[in-house]
Homo-oligomer: A and B are copies of this chain.
Amino acid sequence: MAQLRIALAQANPTVGDLSGNTDKLLEWARQAADRGAHLVVFPEMFLTGYPVEDLVLRASFVNASIAALETAARRLADEGLGELPVVVGYVDRAGLQPRVGVPKGAPLNAAALLHRGRIVARTAKHHLPNYGVFDEYRYFVRGDRLPIFRLHGVDVAIAICEDLWQDGGPVAVVSQVGAGLLVVPNASPYERDKVDVRGDLCARRAREAGCALAYVNQVGGQDELVFDGDSLVVDARGELVARAGQFVEELLVVDLDLPAAPAGVRPGAATVDAGDGTAITVERVELSAEPVAPYPPEPPRIAPRLDDLGEVYAALVLGVRDYVTKNGFRSVILGLSGGIDSALVATIASDALGPDRVHVVLMPSRYSSEHSLADARELVRRQGVHARTIPITEIVNAVEKEIELHGLAAENVQARVRGAVLLMGLSNEHGHLVLTTGNKSELAVGYSTIYGDAAGGFAPIKDVFKTMVWDLSRWRNAQVGRESPFLYGFAEPPIPENSIVKEPSAELRPDQRDTDSLPPYHVLDRVLIDYVENDMGRDDLVAAGHDPELVTQVIRMVDAAEYKRRQYPPGPKITPKNFGRDRRLPITNRWRETAP
């Protein structure tokens, strides 16, 4: 056996910020060296950030990624870090002839091994995911190389993210040719899930490969995605050795006792059947043959796991924080109605940015109730956010003098004056990002005003059903006094109890209640989850015990609301389906689950 101290750099890159990501690589490599690591592994496509989407189809971007990798190798050596091997993801290109159906420029989702100022090995993802949020057949061509480098007498193989999830390919090849450690850079977004799919997968693949496995994941919000970190190491039997925190940057340093590589194997290349209809070329290089001198290992860290609501809340806070800061905003603005949705969004914003960077606007109309204004003011008092009040009555009157509108058309004017005119005006004037406050239940059934409450730059709770809005609000209030990177230190529960317990109303006409138009949310959400998340058809929904008339009503509303949802801003994704990329129904869609 041979000892090895490895460092997993669970870091937060920004898509496209090649120089910023390179700086971070240097800084974290230095920390790893300072902690005595023999190897540091960064996430998938760390130098470019992930997902880069159509940027990767620009030749100049791929060139810039390759140049950034060369710069990183050189800077590591120049700054005295050349002896520390670094595995890092970036974008490369395959030398393919252009042809129809192959992504322009044949980009590769690549990873490289840097050592002593040189790029010692390069590989690329073999299995390209093309489902859910992934579109990798659009962007990449398949890699067909598996580098195995000998480090202090241990053979270390490199695979990338999806290569773990599919049968055959790199893991199958490692199981054939043998290695002491498999390191896997990932960019694997958070999805709400009560079981530990990721940990189980790593355990299974470690047993299959017959070696320890180090899973290094990106952390941070990037557009709609939130990467949760949760990097981990399992041994060859699949037992958990170490695990990093969720939703936080962390350099996880782990001491491993690994099988020494057999002396007989020589550097060079050999092609192996990958067990999936393809062949993979194993490329061996040697960095150092001698094991390190024995040293006392550090006790392994296994970070405690967040509970279900804690995970969701952390994802929302990190999603907002990173969207705001990575887009160069300093502050946010939102309309505060006194209802629970805007109360929760204000609280998430305060937790993400601090209340001093949160601006709320109270915009009472002739239909606003006394308790609404009082509840909004009470939240302002508890959180200390910036607040102003702008009555909309005179503006709405001026509109009504020019055109005669009735019913919903008239109600929408109030929402549009608030969202498109006032909040966007203040955003343009002062540079705040507008946060919208719509939840997933109302978005799903179209209970929102396009260009009204739907106007804004980011939608923190667009993937949160209404019943969970209440759950999260109660959960957040119960956290007062606890320390966390996702909780601001409020002295009292930040959300007024009355906002949580009162009956929901849009207050766009006298005595309006959400239940005038919708089933009660605890009933609605159960149908939505089965229809939207679980893709159940009408017959399946009825067979699952939902009331047939309710099912018809809900399906009609959801299908009809498709166009509105397409106009909604992005927001953090916490379930497989959030109506964004994952539910790209055609807009002209005559097919209805409810048709006979």
Contacts and interface: CB of A to CB of B under 8 A. Distances in A.
Interface stretch (A183-191, A226-234, A254-262, A395-403): A395-403
Nearest to A19: B595
Given A101-B129, A130-B130, A591 B55 contact: yes
Interface in A362-408: 390-392, 394-395, 397-399, 401-406, 408
A409 interface: yes
A278 B412 CA distance: 57
A165 B401 contact: no
Given A60-B593, A165-B101, A567-B567, A405 B420 contact: no
Given A101-B166, A399-B421, A429-B406, A131 B138 contact: yes
B101 A584 contact: no
A136 B585 CA distance: 14
A203 interface: no
Contacts of A406: 429
B420 A451 contact: yes
A51 B586 contact: yes
A455 B16 contact: no
Nearest to A221: B588
A240 B92 CA distance: 43
Contact of A100 (B166, B413, B450): B166
26 contacts: A16-B588, A51-B586, A57-B535, A61-B537, A63-B537, A100-B166, A101-B129, A101-B131, A101-B162, A101-B166, A135-B135, A223-B586, A223-B588, A390-B402, A390-B403, A397-B398, A399-B417, A399-B425, A403-B426, A405-B428, A412-B425, A416-B421, A416-B425, A420-B455, A421-B421, A451-B455
Listed from nearest, the 5 A-B pairs whose CB atoms lie closest are A60-B537, A16-B591, A17-B590, A409-B428, A398-B398
Given A101-B127, A399-B421, A413-B421, 7 more contacts: A14-B590, A59-B537, A390-B403, A405-B425, A405-B428, A406-B429, A420-B421
